[in-house]
Chain A
Amino acid sequence: MTSSVVDPLELEQVRRRVFLALFVALAVALHTVEVLLPNPLPWFRIGLANILALAALFSYGIQALWIVSISRILIGSLLLGSLFSPGFLLSLGGGFAANLLMSSGYKLWQTKIGPVGVSVLGALGHVTGQLLIAWLIVIRHPSIWMLLPFFLLFALISGIVNGLAADYLLGSLYKHPAFAGLKAKYATRDSVQD
């Protein structure tokens, strides 16, 4: 890159675009890999792709979160051939609910909340949104809500795992000079990571 002659603001924007594109690409890959994994129960997913959405949120803000997760759902479903199927609607509903909770959590407690906190909020939002969609359009029977506590418990665990993964990812990303401008912002939180 001819970075030495480019104005720094424009360079930052180009970096943002490039890294968001990479985040989307990685998220799609994780989304696809996860569908291929053997799964004990049809709707229990770890949601590995959310790691990249979290990385986007903590690097580039709420708008980047929505870009990465909605593009990931659209492209991932297109690749897997499930676009506009009930499974896709479940993904989309879960994704919207998760993003809503993650954005508001991030906005409300911006200086205090870390990737794990946001991730857990997102995971809980995801299962709740999915069940809501499942109940509205797939199985119109109230007994489906009996699954909710089990889903929430699983979401809590997978949320913590994803949040930690995102935290490690952000920690190593910020060691790279391309993220120098963002490091300061991340370090202003209550607890400073290594």
Chain B
Amino acid sequence: MKVIGWVERLTPFDRKLLVVVAVLVALSFLLPLRQNAGARVVVSSDDRIVFVASLDKDQRVELDGPLGITILQIENGAARIISSPCSQKICIGMGEARYSGDLLACVPNQLVITIEGNSDGEDAEYDFISR
């Protein structure tokens, strides 16, 4: 069977419908379905919160971990790790965290950086268990 043989089994209307549906599906990828940008950066180490800052304010922070100092940069509403004493630098490779719920972690240096809150001001509901 030819690769396009199946098209011949469709009615002419089906073909038009398929084209329309395919275009709609492609367009759905452009829908603004992204989560809300977060409001705060929360850094915890060993289950304790060691640092909290707003995402609005650009700054560079030195975070202390067992291995040494990890540098976190907050810029343009996103947080990223730009320097870390760990060996594999996975945390640097994680890129930037911008949306509520995003997470950066440096496991060797025991740092977990999460984005919380909602930039729209009103705090987002947590989840359906804690509500």
Interface residues of A (CB under 8 A from B): 109, 112-114, 116-117, 120-121, 124, 138-143, 145-146, 148-149, 152-153, 156, 160, 163-164, 167-168, 189-191, 193
Interface residues of B (CB under 8 A from A): 6, 9-14, 17-18, 21-22, 24-25, 28-29, 31, 33-35, 101, 125, 127-128, 131
Report the Cα distance A112→B13, complex, angstroms.
6
> Contacts A141-B127, A164-B6, A193-B9 given: A152-B14 contact, CB under 8 Å?
no
Excluding A116-B14, A190-B13, 15 further A-B contacts by CB distance (< 8 Å) are: A112-B11, A114-B10, A114-B11, A116-B9, A117-B14, A117-B17, A121-B21, A141-B127, A143-B33, A148-B28, A148-B31, A149-B33, A152-B25, A164-B9, A191-B11
- Majority SS at the chain A contact face: helix
What are the 5 tightest A-B residue pairs by CB atom distance, in nearest-first order? A112-B13, A117-B14, A114-B11, A149-B28, A149-B29
Specify which chain B residues have a CB less than 8 angstroms from the CB of A120 in the assembled complex. Answer: 17-18, 21
Closest to B99 in A: A143
Closest to B29 in A: A149
Closest to A120 in B: B21
Report the Cα distance A164→B6, complex, angstroms.
7
Specify which chain A residues have a CB less than 8 angstroms from the CB of B131 in the assembled complex. Answer: 140
Cβ of A151 to closest chain B Cβ, rounded Å: 9
B13→A113 contact, CB < 8 A:
yes
> Contacts A148-B33, A149-B28 given: A190-B18 contact, CB under 8 Å?
no
A113→B17 contact, CB < 8 A:
yes
> Contacts A116-B9, A117-B10, A190-B13 given: A146-B35 contact, CB under 8 Å?
yes
Cβ of B81 to closest chain A Cβ, rounded Å: 24
Specify which chain B residues have a CB less than 8 angstroms from the CB of A153 in the assembled complex. Answer: 25
Report the Cα distance A138→B11, complex, angstroms.
39
Report the Cα distance A43→B34, complex, angstroms.
20
> Contacts A112-B11, A114-B14, A193-B9 given: A156-B21 contact, CB under 8 Å?
yes
Report the Cα distance A55→B65, complex, angstroms.
64
> Contacts A117-B13, A164-B6, A193-B9 given: A145-B21 contact, CB under 8 Å?
no
B10→A116 contact, CB < 8 A:
yes
